[in-house]
Amino acid sequence: VSAAQSADGRIADLPALREAAREHGARTYIDVSQAGAWLPMEADANDFTVTVCYKWLMGPHGAGFLVVPEDFGGLLPILAGWVAGESPWDSCYGPVTELAHSARRFDLPPALFSFAGLRRSLELLEELGVDAVRAHDLALADRFRAGLAGLGQAPVPAPGSAIVSVPGLGHRQPELSAAGIEVSDRAGNLRASFHLYNTPEDVDRLLDALSA
């Protein structure tokens, strides 16, 4: 399940999901690609946690993270190459004879430039802290929700989310893009997401465009 739903920003009740999974002997696989950096969470609270890094973590394309349980959860490293070997340099020119004893057995050859850029993004996020990022993002999202109410529009209920999705307005995405305002059309909804690089002026500009 996604920690935050891509199409409309709804936040999953992860504690309840984990409890239900334990009761039924199931494992949890949580995608935090739409929630990383602004929604507080512990990656090892779930059995599996995965994320891309080019969205809310503000990194380049080509990097991602996977957290696995100590027993690896039965996952098979079907793309294992030399970096996945217990002794990588002994695996350069032939099959991996012994997989890494750690989660490195799931690694692929790293996209070095992507990770170099991602390091800077993660350092910034760590410096600011998730609480500060969340407060900034939600203030903008709530400003947008309040403005929508003044326009007679009601977004999909997603309390506490930095993603705001407005039913029936997805068709306006092309004209907004032409005006230099980048939002998304997701399942017919107009989806706006607010992050560190956005300002109150961005929100007001979007509201002004929608009121026209």
Cα separation, 169 vs 148, in Å, equals: 12
Our CA angle for 199, 201, 204, nearest 5°, is: 120
Cα separation, 98 vs 86, in Å, equals: 6
Helices (H), the chain: 14-23, 112-128, 130-150, 173-178, 200-211
Tell me if 130 sits within 8 A of 38, measured CB to CB: yes
pLDDT at 18: 95
pLDDT at 170: 96
- The pLDDT > 70 percentage for the chain reads 100
In DSSP notation, 45-90 reads GSSEEEEESSSTT-PPTT-EEEE--TTGGG---TT--GGGBSSGGG
Enter the CATH code of domain 14-128: 3.40.640.10
Neighbouring residues of 58: CB distance < 8 A, sequence distance ≥ 6? 37, 121, 124, 125, 195, 196
pTM of the model: 0.90
Where along the chain do its domains lie?
A: 14-128, 130-211
CA distances from 77 to 2, 18, 97, 110, 206 (A): 23, 25, 13, 15, 45
* SS3 at position 42: coil
pLDDT digits (tens, 9 = 90+) for 85-138: 999 999 888 889 999 999 999 999 889 999 999 999 999 999 999 999 999 999
For the chain, 212 residues long, give each residue's pLDDT as a single digit of tens.
999 999 999 999 999 999 999 999 999 999 999 999 999 988 889 999 999 999 999 999 999 999 999 999 999 999 899 999 999 999 888 889 999 999 999 999 889 999 999 999 999 999 999 999 999 999 999 999 999 999 999 999 999 999 999 999 999 999 999 999 999 999 899 999 999 999 999 999 999 999 98
pLDDT at 94: 80
CATH topology of domain 130-211: Aspartate Aminotransferase, domain 1 (3.90.1150)
Q: Which tokens in the block code for residue 30?
A: 């949580």
